[in-house]
Protein backbone atom coordinates (compact mmCIF):
# COMPACT_ATOMS: atom_id res chain seq x y z
CA UNK A 1 0.00 0.00 0.00
CA UNK A 2 1.47 3.40 -0.96
CA UNK A 3 2.45 5.71 1.90
CA UNK A 4 0.91 9.20 1.98
CA UNK A 5 3.34 12.04 1.36
CA UNK A 6 3.35 15.54 -0.13
CA UNK A 7 3.03 16.32 -3.83
CA UNK A 8 2.55 14.18 -6.91
CA UNK A 9 4.17 10.79 -7.39
CA UNK A 10 5.02 8.96 -10.62
CA UNK A 11 3.90 5.58 -9.30
CA UNK A 12 2.80 3.89 -6.05
CA UNK A 13 6.35 2.77 -5.24
CA UNK A 14 7.30 6.42 -4.73
CA UNK A 15 4.41 7.07 -2.36
CA UNK A 16 1.03 8.70 -2.88
CA UNK A 17 -0.90 11.84 -2.13
CA UNK A 18 -4.45 11.52 -0.81
CA UNK A 19 -6.11 11.59 -4.23
CA UNK A 20 -3.53 9.32 -5.86
CA UNK A 21 -4.33 6.74 -3.21
CA UNK A 22 -8.03 7.25 -3.95
CA UNK A 23 -7.41 6.57 -7.67
CA UNK A 24 -5.48 3.43 -6.71
CA UNK A 25 -8.25 2.11 -4.46
CA UNK A 26 -10.94 3.01 -7.02
CA UNK A 27 -9.17 0.99 -9.70
CA UNK A 28 -8.58 4.03 -11.88
CA UNK A 29 -5.47 5.09 -13.75
CA UNK A 30 -2.89 6.46 -11.29
CA UNK A 31 -3.68 10.18 -10.95
CA UNK A 32 -4.18 12.94 -8.39
CA UNK A 33 -7.23 14.05 -10.42
CA UNK A 34 -9.31 10.85 -10.55
CA UNK A 35 -12.82 10.78 -11.95
CA UNK A 36 -14.18 9.12 -8.81
CA UNK A 37 -14.31 12.36 -6.78
CA UNK A 38 -15.85 15.81 -7.23
CA UNK A 39 -13.11 18.13 -8.57
CA UNK A 40 -13.43 20.74 -5.81
CA UNK A 41 -13.48 18.13 -3.06
CA UNK A 42 -10.40 16.54 -4.63
CA UNK A 43 -8.70 19.95 -4.69
CA UNK A 44 -9.39 20.35 -0.98
CA UNK A 45 -8.00 16.87 -0.30
CA UNK A 46 -4.79 17.66 -2.19
CA UNK A 47 -4.34 20.93 -0.30
CA UNK A 48 -4.88 19.30 3.07
CA UNK A 49 -2.54 16.44 2.14
CA UNK A 50 0.24 18.86 1.15
CA UNK A 51 -0.15 21.24 4.09
CA UNK A 52 -0.74 18.93 7.03
CA UNK A 53 2.24 17.80 9.09
CA UNK A 54 3.98 14.51 8.34
CA UNK A 55 2.96 13.06 11.70
CA UNK A 56 -0.75 13.76 11.05
CA UNK A 57 -0.85 12.88 7.35
CA UNK A 58 -1.01 9.17 8.05
CA UNK A 59 -4.29 9.68 9.88
CA UNK A 60 -5.88 10.85 6.62
CA UNK A 61 -5.68 7.33 5.17
CA UNK A 62 -8.91 6.28 6.88
CA UNK A 63 -10.76 9.05 5.02
CA UNK A 64 -9.66 7.94 1.54
CA UNK A 65 -12.33 5.23 0.95
CA UNK A 66 -15.10 7.67 1.91
CA UNK A 67 -14.16 10.11 -0.85
CA UNK A 68 -14.44 7.53 -3.64
CA UNK A 69 -17.66 7.87 -5.61
CA UNK A 70 -18.49 11.35 -4.34
CA UNK A 71 -19.02 13.17 -7.60
CA UNK A 72 -21.85 15.30 -8.94
CA UNK A 73 -22.45 18.19 -11.34
CA UNK A 74 -24.82 19.83 -8.83
CA UNK A 75 -23.50 23.32 -8.03
CA UNK A 76 -24.83 22.91 -4.50
CA UNK A 77 -21.92 20.57 -3.86
CA UNK A 78 -19.40 23.26 -4.82
CA UNK A 79 -21.25 25.79 -2.66
CA UNK A 80 -21.31 23.56 0.40
CA UNK A 81 -17.61 22.74 0.08
CA UNK A 82 -16.75 26.44 -0.25
CA UNK A 83 -19.00 27.30 2.68
CA UNK A 84 -17.52 24.59 4.91
CA UNK A 85 -14.01 25.82 4.10
CA UNK A 86 -14.72 29.52 4.57
CA UNK A 87 -16.66 29.15 7.83
CA UNK A 88 -13.97 26.87 9.28
CA UNK A 89 -11.11 29.23 8.47
CA UNK A 90 -12.76 32.60 9.11
CA UNK A 91 -12.68 32.56 12.94
CA UNK A 92 -8.97 31.59 13.11
CA UNK A 93 -7.48 33.33 10.05
CA UNK A 94 -5.26 36.38 10.32
CA UNK A 95 -6.98 39.76 10.00
CA UNK A 96 -5.70 40.37 6.47
CA UNK A 97 -7.47 37.22 5.23
CA UNK A 98 -10.77 37.70 7.04
CA UNK A 99 -12.43 39.99 4.49
CA UNK A 100 -11.86 37.60 1.59
CA UNK A 101 -13.11 34.67 3.65
CA UNK A 102 -16.18 36.58 4.81
CA UNK A 103 -16.97 37.46 1.19
CA UNK A 104 -16.61 33.75 0.38
CA UNK A 105 -19.14 32.89 3.09
CA UNK A 106 -21.67 35.37 1.69
CA UNK A 107 -21.07 34.25 -1.91
CA UNK A 108 -21.66 30.60 -1.03
CA UNK A 109 -24.79 31.44 0.98
CA UNK A 110 -26.13 33.57 -1.87
CA UNK A 111 -25.51 30.80 -4.38
CA UNK A 112 -27.27 28.22 -2.20
CA UNK A 113 -30.24 30.55 -1.72
CA UNK A 114 -30.46 31.10 -5.47
CA UNK A 115 -30.24 27.38 -6.27
CA UNK A 116 -32.81 26.48 -3.61
CA UNK A 117 -35.19 29.31 -4.51
CA UNK A 118 -34.87 30.96 -1.10
CA UNK A 119 -34.77 34.71 -0.35
CA UNK A 120 -31.17 35.99 -0.28
CA UNK A 121 -29.54 37.41 2.83
CA UNK A 122 -30.33 34.69 5.32
CA UNK A 123 -27.33 32.92 6.81
CA UNK A 124 -27.14 29.39 8.12
CA UNK A 125 -26.35 28.98 11.80
CA UNK A 126 -22.77 27.94 11.00
CA UNK A 127 -22.20 31.00 8.81
CA UNK A 128 -23.80 33.36 11.30
CA UNK A 129 -21.60 32.05 14.11
CA UNK A 130 -18.44 32.45 12.02
CA UNK A 131 -19.32 35.98 10.90
CA UNK A 132 -20.15 37.08 14.43
CA UNK A 133 -16.57 36.33 15.48
CA UNK A 134 -15.18 38.85 12.96
CA UNK A 135 -17.69 41.74 13.02
CA UNK A 136 -15.51 44.28 11.21
CA UNK A 137 -14.69 41.94 8.32
CA UNK A 138 -18.32 40.81 8.20
CA UNK A 139 -19.58 44.40 7.83
CA UNK A 140 -17.06 45.12 5.06
CA UNK A 141 -17.98 41.88 3.30
CA UNK A 142 -21.68 42.76 3.33
CA UNK A 143 -20.98 46.16 1.76
CA UNK A 144 -18.82 44.55 -0.91
CA UNK A 145 -21.31 41.77 -1.65
CA UNK A 146 -24.19 44.19 -2.17
CA UNK A 147 -22.25 45.71 -5.08
CA UNK A 148 -21.32 42.39 -6.70
CA UNK A 149 -23.41 39.57 -8.13
CA UNK A 150 -21.57 36.45 -9.15
CA UNK A 151 -22.75 34.14 -11.91
CA UNK A 152 -23.09 30.40 -11.46
CA UNK A 153 -20.26 29.83 -13.92
CA UNK A 154 -18.06 32.36 -12.14
CA UNK A 155 -18.80 30.77 -8.79
CA UNK A 156 -17.83 27.28 -9.96
CA UNK A 157 -14.70 28.37 -11.81
CA UNK A 158 -13.35 31.08 -9.51
CA UNK A 159 -15.17 31.86 -6.27
CA UNK A 160 -15.50 28.34 -4.90
CA UNK A 161 -11.91 27.23 -5.69
CA UNK A 162 -10.60 30.52 -4.27
CA UNK A 163 -12.55 29.92 -1.06
CA UNK A 164 -10.97 26.50 -0.66
CA UNK A 165 -7.46 27.82 -1.33
CA UNK A 166 -7.90 30.81 1.00
CA UNK A 167 -9.28 28.65 3.76
CA UNK A 168 -6.46 26.11 3.78
CA UNK A 169 -3.78 28.80 3.67
CA UNK A 170 -5.63 30.76 6.35
CA UNK A 171 -5.73 27.75 8.66
CA UNK A 172 -2.08 26.82 8.05
CA UNK A 173 -0.91 30.36 8.81
CA UNK A 174 -3.34 30.98 11.67
CA UNK A 175 -2.15 31.75 15.19
CA UNK A 176 -3.33 28.45 16.63
CA UNK A 177 -1.18 25.94 18.54
CA UNK A 178 -1.71 23.11 16.03
CA UNK A 179 -3.59 23.61 12.74
CA UNK A 180 -3.35 19.95 11.72
CA UNK A 181 -6.47 18.69 13.55
CA UNK A 182 -8.44 21.59 12.07
CA UNK A 183 -7.29 20.65 8.57
CA UNK A 184 -8.26 17.02 9.07
CA UNK A 185 -11.65 17.96 10.52
CA UNK A 186 -12.22 20.33 7.59
CA UNK A 187 -11.64 17.55 5.07
CA UNK A 188 -13.75 15.07 7.04
CA UNK A 189 -16.58 17.60 7.33
CA UNK A 190 -16.49 18.42 3.61
CA UNK A 191 -16.60 14.72 2.74
CA UNK A 192 -19.60 14.23 5.04
CA UNK A 193 -21.37 17.26 3.52
CA UNK A 194 -20.86 15.95 -0.01
CA UNK A 195 -21.98 12.43 0.88
CA UNK A 196 -25.19 13.77 2.44
CA UNK A 197 -25.95 16.03 -0.54
CA UNK A 198 -25.33 13.34 -3.14
CA UNK A 199 -27.35 10.74 -1.24
CA UNK A 200 -30.21 13.23 -0.85
CA UNK A 201 -30.20 13.98 -4.58
CA UNK A 202 -30.17 10.28 -5.45
CA UNK A 203 -33.09 9.67 -3.09
CA UNK A 204 -35.11 12.49 -4.72
CA UNK A 205 -34.39 11.11 -8.17
CA UNK A 206 -35.46 7.63 -7.08
CA UNK A 207 -38.82 9.01 -5.93
CA UNK A 208 -39.29 11.11 -9.08
CA UNK A 209 -38.17 8.38 -11.49
CA UNK A 210 -38.89 5.01 -9.84
CA UNK A 211 -37.70 1.86 -11.54
CA UNK A 212 -40.44 0.10 -13.52
CA UNK A 213 -42.06 -2.86 -11.77
CA UNK A 214 -41.78 -6.00 -13.94
CA UNK A 215 -45.09 -7.54 -14.89
CA UNK A 216 -45.61 -11.03 -13.53
| One domain, residues 189 and 102 | yes
Structural domain range at position 182? 75-193
| One domain, residues 47 and 18 | yes
pTM of the model: 0.92
| One domain, residues 54 and 159 | no
| One domain, residues 86 and 166 | yes
The phi and psi torsions of 4 (rounded to 5 degrees) equal: -70, 135
| One domain, residues 80 and 60 | no
| One domain, residues 127 and 36 | no
- How many domains would you assign to the chain? 2
Q: pLDDT by residue for the chain (216 residues), tens digit each?
A: 778 898 888 878 788 999 999 999 999 999 999 999 999 999 999 999 999 999 899 999 999 999 999 999 999 999 999 999 999 999 999 999 999 999 999 999 999 999 999 988 899 999 999 999 999 999 999 998 876 788 999 999 999 999 999 999 999 999 888 999 999 999 999 999 999 999 988 888 777 766 666 665
Q: What is the DSSP string of 97-128?
A: HHHHHHHHHHHHHHHHHHHHTPPTTPPPHHHH
- Is residue 131 a part of any domain in this protein? yes
Alpha helices in 133-174 (DSSP H): 135-146, 152-154, 160-172
- Is residue 109 a part of any domain in this protein? yes
Amino acid sequence: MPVLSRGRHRNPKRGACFMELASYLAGERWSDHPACTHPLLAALARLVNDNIGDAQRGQLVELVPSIIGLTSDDLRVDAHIALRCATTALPVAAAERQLALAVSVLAAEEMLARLDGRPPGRLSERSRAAMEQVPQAAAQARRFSRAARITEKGFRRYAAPNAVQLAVVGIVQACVPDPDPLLRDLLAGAIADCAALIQEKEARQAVTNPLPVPLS
